[in-house]
Structure 1
Amino acid sequence: MEAIKHFIKNEIVLCVALVLSIISCFFVHPSRDYFNYIDYRTLSILLSLMITMAGFQRLSVFRQIGEILVGKMNSIRGIVLILLGLCFFSSMFITNDVALLTFVPFSIITLSISNRKDLFIIVIVLETIAANLGSMLIPLGNPQNLYLYSLSNMNLLSFISIMLPYSICAFILLVLSTYLFVKDAPVSGSGDSKKVYNRTPYEKKLIRLYIFAFLASLLVVARIIPYYVSLIVVILLVVIFDRRVLRKPDYSLLFTFVFLFVFIGNMKNISIISTFLEALIKNNEVIVSVFLSQFISNVPAAILCSGFTNDIPKLIIGTNLGGLGTLIASMASLISFKQYSYIDGADSKKYIKVFSIFNIVFLIIMLIEYTIIYLV
C-alpha cells in the first residue's frame, strides 16, 4: 500500500491521465480507432531524445562544459550569468528537464564552494525560469513543443519566428534580474570544483555515438528522415553499446502522453463536450492554455487544447508562457524544487514565495508582450 501511495505521489499527472482515459472509455467504447488517437511521431522523438540525453548525462558531458565555462569567471555575478546562460541556451537542445537536472546540482556545488549559499534560492529560481523559457524557442526544447510542432506541420523557421520575440524578452529579463538581485563581488576558489575528465577510448566512442543519435533526432525534427528510422537506429546502438541507459528515460511521461491522447480522442467523439470545449478554446487559445497550465501543467494543457482548435501557433505561445506561474505549471519546475529541498537547512516556504513572485512577474510581462504583438 505504501508503495502505491508513493507511486501516486510521484506520478500524479500520469495517474490522473490514466483515470481520465479510463473514464472516457465508458462513453466511447474501445475500438481500433484508439490507435489513430496516438501521435507516434512525437512519442518516438521524445524517446530518442530521452535516451540520448540520458547517455550524455551519464558521461557528465554537460557538467564538464559547465565547469569549463564557470571556471573562467572570477566574479559571483559572472558565475550566476554563466549558470543562467547554461540553463537558458542548453534547454533549447537538451530539454528543460535535463538542463535543470544537470545544472541545478552543479550550481549548488559551485555556490557552496564560492561561500555564497545565500544565493541558492534566487539562483535556482532564475535557473528554473531560464530553462523553461529558453526551451520554448525550438521544438526540441520541451515535450509540448515537440507535440505541437508535429501537429502543426509547420517548418522549423516558422516555429522559431513565433517564439523568438518571447525568447529575446526572456533573456533580457533574466540578465536584468541578475544585475538587480545578485550583488557583484570577487570570488575565489570556484575553480576548485573542477574535475579532471580522463576519458577512456570507450567513453569517447560513446560520446560520438550520442552526438550521432542527437543529430538523427534533429533530422527527424526537420522532417528530413522518418521518425521510426531514427528511433530504431538509436535503440539498436544503445542496446549494443550502452544498454544500461535504457533504464534512464522518463517512461511515465510517454505513458502520460498516450493516456491523454486517448482521453482527448474520446472527448472529441462526444459531441456535446466537443462543442463546449471548441467554443471555450477557440480565439482564447493563449489565455485558456496559460490558465490550464497553472493547474495541470503545460504538457497536458497542450494536448487537451490541441484537440479543439486549429490555431496551433497560439497554443505554442500559450503553453510555453503557461510554464510560468505555479510550481506545477511546468513539471520541470518540480525538478529544481526537489533539488533545492535536498540541501541542509532548505527553506521550502521561502523558496515557493520567491519562485511565485518571480514567475508571476515574468508571466505578466510576457503576456503584456503577447498583447502588444497581437495588437500590432
Structure 2
Amino acid sequence: MSENIYSQRKMRNESLKKNDFLEFLKKEAVLIIALLLAVISCFIARPKLSYIDFKVLILLFNLMIVVEAFKELKILDSIAIGLLKKCSSYKAISTALVFITFLAAMVVTNDVALLTFVPLTIVIARKANIDVLKIVIFQTLGANLGSSFTPMGNPQNLFIYSYFKLNPLDFFIITGPVLLLSVLFLLFLISRDKKANLSIELEDVKVGNKNHICIFSALFLIILLSVFHLVDYKLTLIITIVTMLFLNKSLFSKVDFSLLLTFIGFFIFVGNISTLDSVKLFMENILGSGKSTFIASLLSSQVISNVPATMLLSGFTTHVKELLLGVNIGGMGTLIASLASVISYKIYSSEFEVDNNRYLKMFTYYNLVGLLIMTTIVYFIL
C-alpha cells in the first residue's frame, strides 16, 4: 500500500517537473535558441569578448530597473484611472486606453505598457459588462507602434540606436513619419467603434511613497540623458545600483535577466558567424540595398520576432534607416512578430479562455491590415 502511494507521488512529482520544464521551454524559447546558437557557433569560430555590446546591456538594465520601480509605485495606474474617470462612452474609453498605452510605450517600453494597461482594460470590461477584445488588440498595436518612436521604446530600437551610434535627431527623423502614420491608423480603427454611453465607477489608485517617486523620476531623467549620450552610461549604472541598494533592493530580482542573456547569446552568435566569409558574403548580398534590407527585416520579424531579427541582420548591413523601419513595422503581423504581443494575448486569454480563437483571428486581421498599409507606404517612400 505504502509502495503504491510512494509510486503515485513520484509519478505526480515527475509529471509536475515535466510540466514546469515544458512551461520554461515555452516561456524562454528565444533565450534557449540564442544560447544554443551561441554555443554551436563557438565550434565554428573563436568567440571574443568584444562581440558583446556592454553599453546596450547596461542601458537596458538601467531602464528595466527604473521602470520596475514605476510599476511598484503605481504611477501609470494612477494617471490612467484619472483619465478614464473623464470618459463617458465606449469610444472615449477605447481612445483613452489605446493612446495612453501608445504614449506610455514610448517611455517605459511596449512590454511594460501592455502589462500595465491591459489588466486595467479587463477590470473595466468586468465593471461595465463590455467586450474589450478589440480594445486589447488596438492597445497591442498601439504599444508596438508607439514604442517604435523612441530609442528606449523597445529593445531593438535601443540596440540599433547604440550599435550604429545614431544621434537623437537622426533617429527621430526616421521614426517620426511612422509615428504620424500610427496615430492616423489607430484613430481610423477607433472611429469605427460604437458610440454607446457608459458609466463606470473606478476607485482611485494609491500611489507609493512620494519621496521615492521624486527620486526615481530624477533617476529616470538621468538614465534618459545617458541614452541620448549626455551622461556617461557607466556613471548612470553606478547611480542606479546605489539608488536601488538604498531604496528598494527587491527590484534587482525583477529585472528581465533572460532578455539580457538573450542579447549576449545573439551578440556571440552574430560575432562568430560574421567571421565566416561565405556567410558574410551571402548576407551582404541579401541586404545589399535599402529596400532589400527593409523587406528582409520585416519578413524575418514575422518568423523569429523583431528583436532577434534586428541583432541577426545588423552585423551585415549599413542601411540603418531601412533596418529600423523594417523591424518596427515588422512588429505587426504574426503574434510572435513582437513578443510584446504575446503578453497581451496571454493576459486576455487567461481571463477569457473561450475567446482564444476569436482573439487570434481578429488580432491577425488587424495586424495584417496595418502591416500591409504601412509596408506599402514606407516601401514606396524609401
TM-score grouping bracket, smaller chain normalisation: over 0.9
Quote the offset at 1:195 in angstroms.
2.2
Shifted more, 9-18 versus 340-349: the winner is 340-349
Paired residues, number: 363
SS at 2:316's partner residue? coil
SS at 2:152's partner residue? helix
Is 1:271 aligned to residue 280 of structure 2? no
Quote the offset at 1:198 in angstroms.
6.5
Quote the offset at 1:247 in angstroms.
1.2
Is 1:150 aligned to residue 158 of structure 2? no
SS at 1:133's partner residue? helix
* Root-mean-square deviation over aligned CA pairs: 1.2
Q: Percent identity?
A: 38
Is 1:177 aligned to residue 194 of structure 2? no
2:206 and 2:77 mapped to 1: Cα distance? Answer: 11
Q: Deviations over 1:46-80 (max 9, x none)?
A: 11010011010011110110000011111110011
**Matched letter for residue 71 of structure 1:** K
- Equivalent residue for 1:91, pick from 88, 100, 105: 105
Is 1:255 aligned to residue 267 of structure 2? no
1:51 and 1:240 mapped to 2: Cα distance? Answer: 14
Q: Which runs of 5+ in 2 are unaligned?
A: 1-16
Is 1:193 aligned to residue 205 of structure 2? no
- Equivalent residue for 1:42, pick from 47, 50, 56: 56
Structure 1 or 2, whichever has the larger Rg, is: 2
SS at 1:185's partner residue? coil
Contact 1:109 1:193 in 2 (8 A): no
Contact 1:92 1:137 in 2 (8 A): yes
Contact 1:71 1:194 in 2 (8 A): no
Contact 2:77 2:205 in 1 (8 A): no
**Matched letter for residue 219 of structure 1:** L
2:207 and 2:306 mapped to 1: Cα distance? Answer: 40
**Matched letter for residue 35 of structure 2:** L
SS at 1:326's partner residue? coil
SS at 2:25's partner residue? helix
Is 1:302 aligned to residue 310 of structure 2? yes
Quote the offset at 1:345 in angstroms.
4.5
2:353 and 2:284 mapped to 1: Cα distance? Answer: 48
TM-score where L is the length of structure 1: 0.94
- Equivalent residue for 2:36, pick from 16, 19, 23: 19
Q: Which runs of 5+ in 1 are unaligned?
A: none
Contact 1:97 1:335 in 2 (8 A): yes
1:108 and 1:233 mapped to 2: Cα distance? Answer: 37
Q: How does 1:220-369 map to 2 (within 5 A)?
A: 220-283=226-289, 284-369=292-377
Is 1:78 aligned to residue 92 of structure 2? yes
Q: Which residue of 1 aligns with 2:219?
A: 213
1:128 and 1:56 mapped to 2: Cα distance? Answer: 20
2:40 and 2:30 mapped to 1: Cα distance? Answer: 15
